[in-house]
Structure 1
């Protein structure tokens, strides 16, 4: 509900001011939903504000829920990270919700998946921006759409050179298959010994 209502309210307040109130509400709601699922657009996305484009990038990276055909890191991954942050702020040992505790490996996997998606998205966007000489935000938008397998575009992709198109193809493949799946496939069966390295305490944050 939050991922649909809050972005829709934001789009309604910041953009689409040339539309009648009814159409403006429908367009804002549709754009809030489609960025995480279908990838269709009923308005000219390139005319939206940079703030709205940034919100859409975040929505594309989050994606849909597990078991769906939507891409992205998945809503549960994003939720686990939020719950872990809340537990840290409250100095709680375990993260959880609704009277249930989350296992450590679930939080670890969520953090790994999120890091992979953000790394792929950022590196891909920067690479395209440097190579093509285009605004960074536009390139980050295209990269987020690719890694989230959304399909939205600001009209930049058709004019890209082969190198940038290959970058987007790689992002789409990794985003669809899942970076964590590839890592498990390559590294599974290794380092399963019971020995542990000495503990080192460092300061973070």
Structure 2
């Protein structure tokens, strides 16, 4: 009876879209969004002449729709460990903050120079913070990819500060690479077991219990 209940619980945990699919969708939307941003930055006036609105409005509108789509995918269609992942909700807060700054810039509540900065600069900062957080607390072997991506996002910000006049030429494409690559690496190599209990190592994006993490000695005793 208990085995049946456990099996039913495991089946319920597996219902819906898994984290790997969510990561791939996030990577694709990110790559497309940054490619669009780079294209519009390289062709001033294209959006205005094509769709009748400024390119910044198109880009921010895209990111807003992409963010809503990701939230809907995770909350409405995601597996239980996706819907209740503390890390994914933390990412939601970070992205909401970046979008809020974009809205401030578009509304003209700040000067033109600061407004241009607010349209892009928060995003690599969000990636740096989010990937660093993911790399520190996520219990799976793709941690290194996230930590490297966090460092790379920091380098993008530093380069933009040192060479601000060159930002439209490269920064958006670079941000897209930093955005998409670690997500695809995780989706491809993350050691999340399928068809196992929620306690399986690396099976979800829950916070690691760093204080009670098993040591090598503990593992040897378990095998003894």
Q: What TM bracket, shorter-length normalisation?
A: 0.3 to 0.5
Q: Normalised by the size of structure 2, how large is the TM-score?
A: 0.30
Q: Choose between structure 1 and 2: higher helix proportion.
A: 2
Q: For the pair shown, which has the larger CA radius of gyration, 1 or 2?
A: 2
Q: Which has the higher relative contact order, 1 or 2, with Cα contacts under 8 A spaced 6 or more apart?
A: 2
